[in-house]
Each structure stands twice: as structure tokens, then as C-alpha cells.
Amino acid sequence: MTHRLLGFVAALAVAAPELIAQSAQIIDQGSFTITVGGQRTGREDFRIEGTPTGTGALEFVARATVVFGDRRLIPALRSDSMGAPSDYQIESRGTTSGTERWSGKITRGRVSARINNARGESAKEYIVTDGAIILDDDVFHQYYFVARRAPVTSIAVVVPRRNTQLVMRLSTVGNEKVTIGTKELDARHLLLTEPSGATRDLWVDGKGRVLKVAISSRNLVALRDDPPTP
């Protein structure tokens, strides 16, 4: 029995690193430089990981630190492989606006959120479309989940800190080049159109990883600092 137990422990020790390596995989990581009117105003560092579930699908965890003007945003998203969230939280810290924390669960088409700020704590509940994704203001790696929905033509988008949902049209503009540093990368150009008619342009590589986001109504561009790792 002792020899069998020792053999099992030894086998487990050999297999453990492989099991850990298989438990989570990096889907994408990198950083964006954010400009408004051509002037640098911020930076986003992000990481998206996928972990296999019991059904063989991936559960995604996406985190970032965004410095935008005088504010620091720290979002953390947990979702299924298509970006439909189960948990989301974001903390916003500003030199003039103070600290605010939004945290919520999204289940069965309902958002249940708590907001903590200098005025105290409040709660919000509202109905959203099943399968809606999250696109928080001033957070750009989350557009990865937009690309995963193509070629659908309509996407329900939850904007957490506004406590609202928008239904946006998604269309493909075509294949283009995006320059990152000294490299020209092949990209697919997608277009999101809000109910108001305002547009958001998105360029992604062949794996759907975000290279560039442009929001014309804000004269804002978020451009990746380095090409994604092959």
C-alpha cells in the first residue's frame, strides 16, 4: 500500500505542472495608449484569461487598469466564452470625483448591482437581454467580446456605471491595415452603431484581438502599444 501511495504521489507531482498549465490560458494581454484630439490622455493595461469548465467551454476573466485623465479605473469581468457576464465590478478613483465602486451580478436577464461612493451605498436592479455583453465607458479590451459576436448584426450592451442597456448594430466594414509601432498588421474593421446614430470603429486581428478602437463622437482613439503575441 505504501509503495502504491508513493507511486501515486510521484505521478501527481509530475502531472501537477501540466494540470496547472491547462487550468488557465492567456487569451490576450497588452496595453493601449488613449488619445483625445490627438493628445495622449491615458493608458490601459489588460489581461484576458480563459479557464476550461466542466462542459469543455471556457470561462473568461478579463481585468485591467486604466488611467484616463485624472481617474484610475480597475474593471474585472467574469463571463462565458461569448462575453455574457456573470459578475462584474469596477472601481473608479479620481482626484476630484473621489472613489466609486460598482459591483454586480448578471443572471437570468437581470442586473443586480451595488454602488458605493461618497454619498453612501445604493442598489440598482434592471432587466437586460439574455446574452448581453458589457462595454464600460473608457475601457477598451472589452471590445474583444464584440468581435466574438460577429457576424451577428445586433448586440445588446450593458453600460454598468450608467446602469443602462443599449442595443447596437454591428457591421463589417472590410479588411484594412493598422499600424502599430513600425508594423503594419492585417485587421478586420467592424462598426458599432448606437441607437442615437453615433458610431464606434473597431479593428481586430485574425484571432479577434483588439488592435484599435475609435469613438468619433469623443474624438477618442485607443491604439495598442505593441502587436499581439502570435
Measured distance CA(57)–CA(9) in Å, rounded: 29
Q: pLDDT for 44-91, tens place per residue? A: 999 999 999 877 788 999 999 999 999 999 999 999 988 999 999 999
Q: Cell triple for residue 175?
A: 479588411
Q: Which residues contact 88 (CB under 8 A, 6 or more apart)?
A: 75, 76, 77, 78, 102, 103, 104, 106, 134, 160
Residue 136: the pLDDT is 96
- Where the chain has pLDDT below 50, the residues are 1, 5-6, 8-21
